[in-house]
Structure 1
Amino acid sequence: MYSKAFAPEYQGVLGSALSVNSSYEEVLAKATEEQRRSTLGYARAGLAVAEANRRLGRVAEAERAWRDSYRAARRAGDSAAMAWALWSGGTLARQRGRLALACRWLAAAAECAERGGDRTARGYALAGLAETGRIRGDYAAVAALHEQLLAEARAHGEARHMVWALEGIAQMHRNTGSLDTALAMFEEAAEIAAGAEDARGHAWALRGIADVRSVRGETGRALSLLTRAEGICRSMRLESALAYNHKMRGNVLFRAGRYEEAREVYSGALAEFRAMEEPRGAALSRLGLVKSLARLGRSAEETEADLAELDETFRRIGLDHARAGLERFRAELGARAAAA
């Protein structure tokens, strides 16, 4: 069993005033008002300000807010509040493609949470470390941690963390070819998220289901699922999730051989990621765009120049799985050229 999803990053009086599905403009308004009340209240409300801005794609505002929250928590001597601020900073660093820095802040967050006796903050920090490793493609190092966190979430009935862990494990199965397992886990995540009224988790789970359905050739069903997820993202103004939804739509169209449509969608996603200064999403969208243009007849020389630049970008960010996909496309281009 599990309870309704809740947002522990909304702390103090904000915890009772806001829900996991509160609009981020409402979060910002209430948190800004709460910051005026006390030093510790400032730290807790600053965390909400940081998270709302991060999810709206306002990275400069998010950076200032989490650092302000951390400094206020440190002045108040509250290790748990320091841990939450560091978790927010680490999550923002990962969103910006600074994966090594993300690991540094998240490890510090886990240490502070341990010292402050905040089990939830520690779980979120460890989850952040696991997700960062998964994004890098280091599945061997983080698979066990994902499973551990899923078991802890089930034991405590924490729906939001169950959804996160299921989606992360499912993504690893999908990327390693275990599509049946991936689909089952994404579908369980979607069911739990819907039951717990976790709209954001539900949108991400629908995106994962669409991805697997697309790989199986179910293009129409995949696009329908992405449309449902897009509606959630728009209603909650989940800017980053919306951009990743669009990038996935490009993937679905590309797999279906609809290259001109894919090119258009990838171009839009690239613009969205660049606007919010999210280099990982931008690089992945650009790879999709380069692949689409190659299928539409772009020269081999221009394609290879872009692939070489993207390979360096993936290496710098630390996206090993994306680099492997790029190399597969290179090999495919070489095989086609040889056959021609």
Structure 2
Amino acid sequence: MYANAFAPEYQGALNSLSVNSSLTDVLRAASEQLRIAEASGDRREVARAGLGVAEARRRLGQVAEADAAWKASYRAARAADDLGAMAWAMWSGGTLARQRGALPLARRLLTLAADLGKRGDDVVARGYSLAGLAETGRIQGDYQAVGRLHEQLLAEARKRGEARHTVWALEGIAQIHRNTGDFDRALALFEEAAEIARNADDRRGWAWAQRGIADIVSVRDGDADRALSILEKAERACRRMNLTSALAYNHKMRANVLFRARRYRQAKRGYEETLAEFRAIDELRGQALCRLGLAKTLHRLGQRGPEETAAELRELRTLFQRIGLHHARAMTDKALAELPTTAPAPAEAAP
């Protein structure tokens, strides 16, 4: 049995905010509380309110502002000698670094955050930091290294009845199974995550689970129309909460579904529009993945020749290698290997 999802990153005077609160509302409330705390000289509350500002700005894609906010929160926490608050600020910084594609930096910051959480006896901050490390490793494709950590965190979340972390862990394990080809197991886990999130009123977790379900429906079943319908429902949830990054990844998956269905003209538009979304929020990983999809799509449409496509793919391979995205690098290698024998397919009629 799981209690309703809550957002432990909204602290102090912000703890009444819901996990489903609109991010613009969170930013407004956190900014106001930060002004009040700064005027009163309460450094601990400055750190807590600053964390709320940092997280709202990060999720809205306001990268530079988020970077300044988590660092200011950390300085206030350090001045207050609050190890738990320092851990939360460092967690926010590590999460932002991962969002920007700076994965080695994300690992360093999240490792420091986990240590601070342990020293400060903040179990939740430590758990979130370890989860961040696990997610960073999963994104990089280090499945063996982080698989056990995902399972450990899932067991701990289930034991505590903490819905939000249970959903996160299930989705992470599901993604590992999906990327290693066990689509049936992946779908079961995504569906379990979606059900728990729905019952716990975790709309963010539900939207991410729907994206995973749509992916499996597309790649395993070849049912593009059902996958697109699932993504459309998830998109509405993302828009209600102003989840900028999640919305961009939803749109990238939509383009992926269209590509698999050989609807190349629509896929091209989707990748181009989503690439602009990722650029607007300085999301390097998302940009690179969109460029990969777009390169393959342009070749399929006959709008880019094999040599130009190969050059783009080699450039992307170098980028994925530098970022540390092993799974994406493998996908690029596969696309390069297929390129000489891949003839552009006839494009479908424009919708």
Matches within 5 A, 1:261-276: 261-276=266-281
Matches within 5 A, 1:189-228: 189-216=193-220, 217-228=222-233
Quick one: distance in 1 between partners of 2:254 and 2:32? 39
> TM-score with structure 2 length normalisation?
0.95
Matches within 5 A, 1:126-205: 126-205=130-209
Quote the offset at 1:333 in angstroms. Answer: 1.5
Structure 1 equivalent of residue 346 of structure 2: none
Matches within 5 A, 1:51-200: 51-200=55-204
Tell me which of 235, 238, 242 is aligned to 1:233.
Answer: 238
Quick one: distance in 2 between partners of 1:179 and 1:159? 24
- SS state at 1:21 partner: coil
Q: What do residues 23-69 of structure 1 show as CA deviations (whole Å, max 9, x unaligned)?
A: 11211122122222221100001000000000000001100000000
Q: Which residue identity lines up with residue 67 of structure 2 in the other structure?
A: E
Quick one: distance in 2 between partners of 1:212 and 1:27? 33
* 1:33 and 2:39 aligned: no
Quote the offset at 1:308 in angstroms. Answer: 1.2
Quick one: distance in 2 between partners of 1:89 and 1:130? 16
Structure 1 spans left out of the alignment, 5+ residues: none
- SS state at 1:7 partner: coil
Quick one: distance in 2 between partners of 1:314 and 1:336? 23
Structure 2 spans left out of the alignment, 5+ residues: 344-351
CA contact (8 A) 2:150 2:172 kept: yes
Quick one: distance in 2 between partners of 1:253 and 1:33? 43
Q: Which residue identity lines up with residue 331 of structure 2 in the other structure?
A: G
- SS state at 1:100 partner: helix
- SS state at 2:15 partner: helix
Count of residue pairs the alignment pairs up? 336
Quick one: distance in 2 between partners of 1:57 and 1:114? 30
What is the root-mean-square deviation of aligned Cα atoms in Å? 0.8
Identity of aligned residues (%): 66
Quick one: distance in 2 between partners of 1:269 and 1:33? 33
Q: What do residues 121-170 of structure 1 show as CA deviations (whole Å, max 9, x unaligned)?
A: 00000000000000000001000000000000000010000000000000
Quick one: distance in 2 between partners of 1:258 and 1:89? 39
Relative to structure 2, which stretch is displaced further, 93-102 or 37-46? 37-46
- SS state at 1:277 partner: coil
Quote the offset at 1:335 in angstroms. Answer: 3.1
Tell me which of 324, 334, 337 is aligned to 1:318.
Answer: 324
Quick one: distance in 2 between partners of 1:225 and 1:29? 31
Structure 2 equivalent of residue 22 of structure 1: 21
Q: Which residue identity lines up with residue 82 of structure 1 in the other structure?
A: M
Q: Which residue identity lines up with residue 25 of structure 1 in the other structure?
A: T
Q: Deviating runs (4+, > 6 A) in structure 1?
A: none
